[in-house]
Structure formats: C-alpha cells, structure tokens
Structure 1
C-alpha cells in the first residue's frame, strides 16, 4: 500500500509540475535573466518548477521560488553549469538522475527545502563538486548508503537540520578532507563515535548541538572528540551552558589542544563560565570569540582565578545582553585573564564605561575596539584614565558609533599613547573642530566619517597618511597635509576640488556625491602623484599626469621587450629559417570575461567541426588554435616576453572588448601591453579582430588607448548577439575572419 501511495504522489507531482510550468500554448516557462558572463539569476521569480534557461549557463540561481521538485529532464544538457542554487524552495522530490548531466558542477545548494530523504544517486556524476549545502531539510539521517562516496573533490559541506537524529560511522565515507564543515544537530539523538573522525585535514567546523549539550553530554563529547584539532577553528551555535555538566564536552576539546573557539547565540550562567575556564586551564587557546551572548549571572567568576589563561591573544565579544545589569559586578575579577590579550573587542554591548582600574589591567593590549556602545566624552575620559598613557602599547583604537561630541577631548585622551597609529572615531556627534589639538606623533590613520563636521582646522595632525572625512557637511578643504596618501571626501558639500599642492604625496582621492559637478585639467595639474581618482559622474575624467606616468612606464617596458624580440629574430636569421606561426590567434581579454572566453570561445573554435553549413572545403573544417595567457604562456618567463612571443607566432590578435576590458583595471599591464605590439609600425591594422561582448563606443575607450580608438573607427568589429538565434552567424563570421589569407602562411 505504501509503495502504491508513493507512485501515486510521484505521478501527481510530475503532472502538476508539467502543468504549472507550461503556458496555454504548451511551452515550458523560461527565465531570461542571464548576463554576459552566463550567470542566470532566476531567484524570487515565482517559479513552481525548474524554468528553461540557456544550456550555456555557467551559474543558475533558482533560490526562493516555489519549486516543489526536480525531474529527470529539468537540467538535461547543462554540462557547463558550475553553480546551482535551489535554496529556500519547497523541493520535496528529486529524480535520481536529475543531476546526471551536471558533470562540471562545482557548487550545489539544496538548503531550506522539504527533502525527507537523501539519495546517493543524485551525486553519482558530480565528481567536480566542491561545495554542497544540504542544511535545514527534514531528513532524519543521511541515508542507507553513503551519499558522498563519489564526491572526491568536495571541500565545503553542510548538512543537518531540526529533524536530524542520527549519524553513523560510514555516513561521510568518501569525504577525505574539508575546508569547511557545518552540522546542524540540535536534536541529534544517536551518534556513532568516528562518524566525523575520518575527515582530515579539516578546516573550520561549525556545530549546532543545543539538545546534546543539555541532555546528552556524552554524545556532544563524542562529536567534539572527532572534529577538534589544534589548527581547526571550532564554532558552536545555539548553546545553553547552565551548570558544570553542560560544560563537560569541552574537556574533549581541551585534550586535543584546541586553539580557536567561537560561540554564536550563547546563553550562559556564571557557574558555566567558571567551569569552562577550568576545563580550558592551561590549554593553548589563542582566540575566544562570542557573538550574541546572554549573561544570566552577576559576573562572579572568581572561582576561575587560579586557572592558567596566558595563551589567550584575542578576546572578541559582540551583542552582549546582561539580564541582571544592576547586580553585575565589574570585570576586575577577570584580572587574571585581562593582562594577556593583545587584541580585545567589545562591540554593541551597551558598554557605557570601562573603569580606569580595568584599563590598567590590559597591560599587553595593542588593539581595542569599543565601537557601537554607549560611551560619552566623560566616560571615555574614565576609560582612558584621563589621558595618562595607560595601555601604553596600544596601536589601534576604535570608538566609532558612540555618543562622543568633543574632538579636543578624544585628542587629549590619546595624546600620550606613543605607539598609536590607527584611530577610528567615525559615526559620532562631532560637529565642530577646535583650532588646535594634541595627537601622538605616531598617528597615521584617522577616520572621522559619518559625523557632522562643517569645517576643517589645523586640529588634524600633519602626520596623517590616510584620512577619511566622508559623509560630513564640509564645503571646502584647505589644510596642508604633507604625508597624506589617501583622502576620502565623498558625501560632503564640496563646491570645488581641493588644491593639490596641499597634499604633495597624495595617491588616492574619493570625492563622489558632492556638490561639484565638473573640473578641468587645470584643477589637476598640482596633483603630482595622484593615481586613483574616484569622482562619481566624473569617472570619465582621466588625470593627465596619470596618463604621462602610464606612457613612460609602458614605453620603457616596450623598449625592453622590443630588444628581446629583435634578438630572437636575429638568432632565427643566422640559422637561415623563419619560425612559422604556432597559433591562429592570440586572445586579449579581461580576467573578468574569462568565463566567456574559456567556456564559449575556446570550445567553439578549437573543437573539430563535423558538420557546418558554411563549410566548403577541408580547410574550413580544421579546428583553430588559440593562444591564451592563462593556458599557453611559459612559466618562469617575463610576462611581456610571453606576450610578444605569442603575438609574433599568431596570425591574428583577437580583442574581447567590454566594460571590464576598458574600465576595470587599465593598469594591468600583462593584458594592456598587447596593444603596443599590435599597433607597432610593422603591423597592419587588419591583423586585429575586435569582438564586442556588450555595446561599446569609442567614447568609452580611455584616451591613452588612442590607437585602439582609431581602430574601432576604421575596422569592422563583431558584436556578440543578445539574441541566441544569431549566435551561429556570429561564430561563422568569426571563423571566416580568422581564416582570411590563411594560405599566405
């Protein structure tokens, strides 16, 4: 009876799925949200079944739809797919062969669905899979047979959910090593020792074991024993540590010399904290993280005073809630711990003061983050011990997001910190700046962004190398800062560009979202070293001096490579032979367009063609040979020599032009250098073939590529069609262009 019922529901599912994804004409619904990189984003689309997308897709995001199942035909033919996400649907059924054609799949996300059982057949052809997420599905076990047996390249794995009740010894058979393991087992009732123990090496481990820590500490101990290694960060979520018993599993981690422990969403009592510190007595724990902590006690932890915690180097606490805040004692009782850490963070925890006596205990401190708390100018004075230089080794101080209003106060409090280099006082209430301030001579980085400043005065230290004043109310900026390398002024009310002579060493400036809407060459002449200017609508304005530097550097590189090329030619002449071209084309492209080149261009041109309607002779059927820097350059050789050698041995040069090519990283010389070789006086313009991946005009080309701009005006180029039906015509035109004058060689 049970089998008949399952068959009935299977047939019903297939019937409903076919009906729901078909329009009145009987055609399957489709998703056309694919970009030039063949990434298809079909999330939040209201789909009830897998929609049709191009079979050239590399990534397919179907998350947060209403998909209830995956049939055997839904993904057929998607052999190029690298990533597939079905997260947040209502998938209850997956056909055993649904993923059989996904040989290239590297990432698969099936989390937050309705899968009551896992089938090993889903993964039988996914040997390229590196990341698999099966979290938060209602299966109670991982199956009768090892489901991960064929996943030899798997490196990131997440499984479990509220229904997971058992883990057996062979459940992870086939998984030999992982960079990241996440297990949700809050209701785990049965665990065979060793179930997770065969995975090695093992990177970061995240465990949700709420139930076992409360009711079955032996089970929790067995799990920790299998996943704890000295170099493996251990993250524990959703724990309630109440008494001594609930802390006992950590003794297993202590035996294995754990070094990094993190707690997320932790509910903990005074007794549990004391017993945890006792359990870790003498253990070389270097980092202790707590994010989302509820303290139920009064902070009476003196029972752990005799424990050895000298190995703790970093202590991080965020989002702390103290239930009995009016009874909570000071942190002075933690003096035995506070003298060791070099890095302490207490973030968004409603801290209104850290008493000076506590600050004196932090004798080894180099980094202090008290951001997003309730500090005021008065309580900051107490925390910094009225500026007496306490915490003498402090290098980084972050008090951003507090109710601070006086810049002169904070400057006095840090003036004697003789090693301070970084100060973050952003997101505060500073509205004015005094004429003079005292700062440590070591201060190099100052962040006062997102305050309310209207004017700038000599209060700012002349030693600064990086200054962030973005999102204030500044109308001008007139101040000499001779050491400044970076200046961030976005989100103000500037009417004009600050004079460049004020910052003789400035290399980077951001001024987006200001009142100024243009500037000319004269405004930029005084910026002698500026390399990066980000000005919103002014992105098309190029620094004239930056052009000059670029040309000088590239000309020197060109001459050096030219001499190397001439030497190679002379050697060939002496032996009386001329080297024949080794490639039909050298391909110049942006790394961000690599997926299009590697997954479409290369297979289309280099694979043999058995039938082509344009084929008229055997020569046309011959596959082409392409030279790609990633694949064909010789290791250990100078990059420019590789480029010149490749271009000399190629009959054509193909430029794959896009916004990425001309705007993203113009100074990545290993790609841009090819322009110099192409536009040498000995090279004819017809040697170049231009492919436009997206609409692009000569106005979009940087002026320093003047030859390329001229070429675009004089040479016919091929445009990658947005209409899939025209791709065949595009490939025929490209092959024809590459084979022109082939007989001359």
Structure 2
C-alpha cells in the first residue's frame, strides 16, 4: 500500500508546475460560447462561466479543448461523444465534485489530460482509464482530496505516462502540497518512491506558511531514490532544512538540483563552531539557484564549500552585491558559471584586493549577461587568471565606452565572446580579446567598425553585427578566416562584389533589412553571389528591399533588373565611340558638300580683321577727317593692284614724309611688317630717323622679341614712342601728341579719283600695322647679313641726329 490515509491541503500529481498550458495561436474564430480556431480543431472556453460544456458547437474533428470556471459540478456523460479525435483536454480549475469518467470514456485518443484543482474528494480512477493507451500526461488532485489509496491508480498500471506517480511507468513526478502541519508525511512519501527511477521529481510549496524548525531529518528517503533532477519550487527554506536536503544529496545519485522561488532565512539556532562546513562532498552536475529571496543562501553555512564539486553553477535573480575572495577559491570544480540577471556592477564582481591567481582552474564558460557592468578593463583583469576560460557572455550590459575600454589584457584561451545589447563605440573594439573564433556584437549601437581590431583577430570565424547603425562596409576589409558574417538591420545602403573579396572563406552572409540603394553594383553583387553559390545569403530574398531611388522603394531586390546599357560600362563606351564617329563623319560629309571650310575661314578672317582694324576705326578718321587733314597710305586701300607687294612697299615708303608703325603682338608675328620695317630703316639712312614714328598699341617687352627684330629692340630702347592709352578720357592727349609729331599738313586734301594719285604723291604718311592675313604672297626674305650691315649704319646715323635735335615730347599712358 502506498498511503492508506494521508491528510493534504492540496495534491497535484503531474509533470508541469503550471497545469494549464498556454493556448495555441489563433488562426480563425467563430461566434459562440467558446472561441473556435485552427479550422475547428481547437476550442477555448477559458473564463466563460459556462453552466455546461457546449458540445453542440464543437466540430467532429476537435483535437484540443480548454475550459475553466464551469459553474456546474458535473459534466454531462455525452458531452464528448462526437469528439472521439480529442487529444488534449484541459478541465483544470473548475468546480467538479467527481472525476467525469463517463464523459471521458469515448476519448480513446487522449494524450494530455489536465483535471486538477477541482472539488472531488477522492482520486480513484475508473476502469475506463485503462483504455487511454495513448495518454502521456495526467494532472489531477485538488484541495479536498484527503488521501490516496493503493488501488486508486490501478487502471494506469500498464500505461507509460511521461509524468505521474509511484507504481507506474512514469518519468516525471511532481507534488504540489504543503506539509506545514504534518512534516512527518514527507518521509513516508519518499519511502514509497524508494528504488524507483525518475527523470524529474518536483516538490512545490513544501512548506508554504512556516519554516521547518524541528530536528528530525525528513529528507532521509532521498538516498534511496534514483532521479536525474530534483526541484524545490516555492516554499520556505531555512538553513537547517537546506542542510538536511544537501547532506542527503551527497549520498544520492541525483545530479541536478534546482531551488527556485525559495524564501530563504537563516536558522536562529545555527551556531558556527568554526570546525568547517558540513557540506563538503556535494557532487552535482548542475546546481540552479533561481529567484532566491535572500542572497545569504550562497553562504548558508557561512562558507562556500558546497560549491566545491559543482560542475555547472547557475545563480540567477539572487541580486547579491559582493563576491568574497574565498568564494573564487572554493569554486575550483566549476566548469560553467552563470551569474546572469543579478544587477551586478563592476565592484560587485571584481574586487581589486582579491588574489585571483590559480582560481577557477576548470572554468570553461562564464555568463555575466543582463547585469550592470560597464568596464571591459575590470572584466579582463578578473578573467585573466582563468586558464581554461573559452566562452564569455557579456550581453545585455552597459559595456563599450571609450574611457572604460583601455589597457585590456585577456586570457588567450577565449574563443567565444557574446556581447550583444551593449553600447559600444568603435574605439572600444580594441579592448576585446583578439583570440576569439565567435564574436557577437549585435544591437550594440555601433555606427562604424575599427579595422585595426579585425586585423588582429586572425582566428575569427563567425561575426554577428546585426541591429547596429553601421553606415558603410569598410573598404579593403580583410579577414582570411571569417566564414559567417551577419550584417542585417544596419544603416548601409551600398554593397558590391569588392566588399567581401578579401574574405576567401566566407560562406554564410546575412545582410537583409538594410536601406539599400538599388544600383548596378548591388545588382551585380547579387547576381554574382547567387550564380557562383560560394556565399549563401541566409535571409534571401524577402529581407532585401530597395530604399533608394524613390521609384523603387520597397521593391524586392530579387525583382530589380536594371538595363544592360546602364550597368555595362564597356557597352556604353562602344556606343559613345560609335555615335561620335558617325556624327563626325556626317559633319565632314556636310562640310564637303556645302564647302563649309571656305565659309568658316572667310568668317574667321572677317572677325579678325574687324578686331584688328585699329587704324581704320581710330587712326584714319582722326587724321583724315579733321579740319587740316593728313594724307595717309595704308596697304588695304592704297597699294597699286597688279604691282609686286615689295614694289608697293618701297614706293609708298619712299614717297611718304612720315612712316607710322603701329606695334602690337600681331605686328611682331607678321613677316610683311618685318619687311616694311626693314625698308623704312633703309629709307631712314638717306633721311632721318625722325620720319619713323612708333605707336605701341599694347605693352611689349623688348626682351621677349625674337632675335631677328634686333633693330626693333634697339628702336624701342632708344627712340621715344607713343603708347595707346586704354582709358577713353586719355585718348584726346594721344591724338594731340601724334599731330605734334607729324607736324602740320603740307598739302591740301585731294580728291580720291584714283589709286595712283593717292599713292604716288609726295608728302603722304605711310601707316604700317598688322596686314590682313593671306593678302600678301610669300616673297624671298631680304639678306639678313645685308640687313645687319644696314641696320648698324642706320643706328649710327640715328644716334648722330638724335644728338643734334630734341625728341618729340611723348606722354605714355
């Protein structure tokens, strides 16, 4: 017999802490007392305050039914007669005064049955339960069940339940009961479980209202039970009760202990004799301390020796604020340490006065996530002596500031660093360990990457940078070992084939959910990546959409196809060259047909003549059209047609009283003007250099003149010349000076009846400037040796005459 009569305040036998599982997601609904979803295969009547089960609303293929708060004390016998396919039935927390055996009889496919927390007084199961051969989970019990009998569960003898009770083929067993008034009941229960094997045993609210204050060891029966995991969920534990449990666990095969939501308190009767802890040989593969109300549980006997032989230690939501130096020494057997979710700060976890040398010799994995840590330097100092440390989890902290991320020295064995959900700046990356193979920096607010760190991280194989604010992919990002890269959820819009060309081993890339600029480079990258198959885009194609240009906003990149001409620069060059060549050939053909070169040349000459017509526009009107006009000779108007140009030049210079040279850069570049200057110098040898008048139209540096103009250089250096003023108000003085140099006209102006009369009369003035181009034929240049000899004679004579007469006053403007 298990128990003949045992008084309970509550009894729950089952596999789950919460007997009512959450409802599946809703796909469709119908109106009625219950919510029907999943195409009629599921019904939810939770909280509807029903008087009875609305079976008429159910579909014949109903597989899941949840109902609570039925006000009726019974369920109709034919409530489920049409729902023989039902697999999941939840009638937890109702007012049923008896187990509805007849109503459940048709449900031969039932796999999960939750009927605890009802008002039945007896837990005896009907024979019909023996037909539920598919039953896996059974939850039953209630506050009015006063005891259990051996035959109560006899129908389940041959059913392999995943969770139930003693004499049956079950793997998980849970007790939801309070033994505050009868602590002696626990040894009887454990005795009935002796020599049985379970995967899980759970005690919920073992002491719900009071702490156990007696001296009797109520956990003695644990040593005879074989179980993989033992859970104490909720309830009150003091130091003495915990010591009893741990001492018995030292001699049991149980390897996993969890204490969660425990209200822990010191025992007022405990006296520390200083002889050492009573818990020194607790060998557990895993110890979980979760949601403990008092962090003193970590040092419940004022020592940490009970951690000495723990391999996997997890301390969550305990909110301790210091780690004594001796605790690190006592945890020498710990291979995995999880202190996440404890609001730890730098000074809580790292004490500069502690000597960490030789501590935690077996620690492989260290989880510090979801705390309030800010200093990478302190963490590197803490873990520097952990010789076997390979995996470090620093996620969900406040790490990454520049001031707290300097001078870091890490253990060289660290291969995995998890640091997502922090606040990193790019400068802080240099403080991370460079030996890692796996690095997670997702959601760290990074806006750019420090390439110096990645150059040093030569063993990096997997890098996660999701959910940051990275604005561009660094150029020349070289990583010879990187195999997997995650860049999704950032802010860059440009990506090309060159972005990852220096990552020869890259095989996995996740880069969706970025504001992509749909360009030819992006299209080429996608096409090349997909066609080669070397790199697998793990989130392709729906996470890749265009953000720019606006015309392609939200367009899936897989459907973006730019034209060949827009993307192939070689094709653009070929088209441009062909088009340009065709246009040039057509223009050349048009020019040939319509004789366009001749018209162009003529237009050019007209424009140049108009630009250079200083003599016609200014000189001629002012000298020929005044009250006492001068007779002027210019080649365009007064040279005799049919004569040799040389003869015209010689004849007109010889018949002129004065020769005016208008000097400009075009004058210097004209061969004909050079000849005219030569013949004027020849004439001056027989007369006087005062007959030659120099008018400088624009400033000319004598030193810049070619060597053949040596005579002109000397004239500019020794002879006073007139300079054409650029300002109009100064040009009046120029004309007065020029008239004073020319003297009074000696002849009256004659009619211009013929070219002959204008060119052969003596007393005229020859005006020499830049001739119109192509109006004079090529002639043989004068002998330069003769020119040199004559030039020397002219200079000597000019110097003699200048010494006997005063120069004409000239004001240069």
Task: Give 1:209 shift.
Answer: 1.3
**1:141 touches 1:164 (CA, 8 Å); kept in 2?**
yes
Answer yes or no: is 1:134 the counterpart of 2:115.
yes
Distance 1:320 1:52, change over 3 A: closer
TM-aligned CA deviation for residue 146 of structure 1: 4.6
Q: Deviations over 1:475-497 (max 9, x none)?
A: 01233233333322233222124
SS of the residue 1:487 aligns to: strand
Query: Are positions 1:427 and 2:408 aligned together?
Result: no
CA distance, structure 2, for counterparts of residue 364 and residue 492 of structure 1: 38
User: How does the TM-score come out when normalised to structure 2?
Assistant: 0.55
Cα distance change on mapping 1:249 and 1:181 into 2, 3 Å: farther
Residue aligning to 1:708: none
Aligned length: 504
Superposition pairs of residues 135-214 of structure 1, within 5 angstroms: 135-142=116-123, 145-146=126-127, 148-175=129-156, 176-178=158-160, 180-181=162-163, 196-200=165-169, 202-210=170-178, 213-214=179-180
- Structure 1 residues 525 and 146, CA gap change in structure 2 (3 angstroms): farther
CA distance in 2 between partners of 1:286 and 1:92 (Å): 44
From the superposition, tell whether residues 279 and 329 of structure 1 become closer, same or farther in structure 2 (CA, over 3 Å): closer
Aligned counterpart in structure 1 of residue 459 of structure 2, from 483, 494, 502:
483
Instruction: State how far apart, in whole Å, the 2-side matches of 1:700 and 1:95 are.
Output: 60
Give 1:416 deviation, angstroms.
Answer: 2.3
Deviation at 1:551, TM superposition (A): 8.9
**Contact 1:48–1:68, Cα closer than 8 Å, also in 2:** no
Q: Is the 8 A contact 2:471 2:491 kept in 1?
A: yes
Q: What is the deviation of 1:361?
A: 1.2
Cα displacement (A) at 1:545: 6.4
**Contact 1:525 1:545 (8 Å CA) reproduced:** no
1:49 matches 2:26: no
Q: Are 2:291 and 1:319 equivalent residues in the alignment?
A: yes
Query: Alignment partner for residue 315 of structure 2, among 339, 343, 346?
Result: 346
Which has the bigger relative contact order, CA under 8 A and spacing at least 6?
A: 2
* 1:470 CA displacement: 2.0
CA contact (8 A) 2:340 2:370 kept: yes
Deviates more, 1:150-159 or 1:91-100: 91-100
- In structure 2, the residue matched to 1:367 is 336
Deviation per CA, 1:589-627: give whole Å up to 9, x if none: xxxxxxxxxxxxxxxxxxxxxxxxxxxxxxxxxxxxxxx
For the residue of structure 2 that corresponds to 1:457, the secondary structure is: helix
What does residue range 63-462 of structure 1 map to in structure 2 within 5 Å? 63-78=46-61, 81-86=62-67, 93-142=74-123, 145-146=126-127, 148-175=129-156, 176-178=158-160, 180-181=162-163, 196-200=165-169, 202-210=170-178, 213-227=179-193, 229-240=196-207, 242-243=211-212, 248-297=217-266, 300=270, 305-306=277-278, 309-322=281-294, 330=299, 333-382=302-351, 385-433=354-402, 434=405, 436-455=407-426, 456-462=428-434
Whole-Å separation in 2 of the counterparts to 1:177 and 1:247: 37
Aligned equivalents of 1:391, 1:525: Cα separation in 2: 42
Partner SS state of residue 374, structure 2: coil
Task: Tell whether the 8 Å contact from 2:184 to 2:218 is kept in structure 1 after alignment.
Answer: yes
Whole-Å separation in 1 of the counterparts to 2:143 and 2:529:
58
Structure 1 85/525 Cα, relative in aligned 2: closer, same or farther at 3 Å? farther
- Shift of the 144–208 alpha-carbon distance from structure 1 to 2, 3 Å rule, reads closer
CA offset digits 1:672-729 (Å, max 9, x no partner): xxxxxxxxxxxxxxxxxxxxxxxxxx979999xxxxxxxxxxxxxxxxxxxxxxxxxx
State the match for 2:510 in structure 1: 533
For 2:291, what is the secondary structure of its paired residue? Answer: strand
Contact 2:395 2:420 in 1 (8 A): yes
**Shift in Å, 1:388:** 2.1
Mind listing any 5+ residue stretches in structure 2 that lack a counterpart? 1-22, 544-554, 561-813
How far apart in 2 are the matches of 1:109 and 1:504? Answer: 57
Does structure 1 conserve the Cα–Cα contact (< 8 Å) formed by 2:171 and 2:197? no
Structure 2 counterparts to residues 564-579 of structure 1, below 5 A:
none
Q: TM-score scaled to structure 1, two decimals?
A: 0.59
**1:99 CA drift (Å):** 2.1
CA 1:519/1:274 → structure 2, altered by over 3 Å: closer, same or farther?
same
Question: What stretches of structure 1 of length at least 5 have no aligned partner?
Answer: 1-32, 183-195, 554-659, 665-697, 704-745
Pair 1:237–1:543, CA change in 2 (3 A):
farther
Q: Distance in 1 between matches of 2:397 and 2:37?
A: 49
Deviates more, 1:293-302 or 1:401-410: 293-302
Task: Using the TM superposition, give the Cα deviation of residue 464 of structure 1 relative to its aligned residue in structure 2, in angstroms.
Answer: 1.4
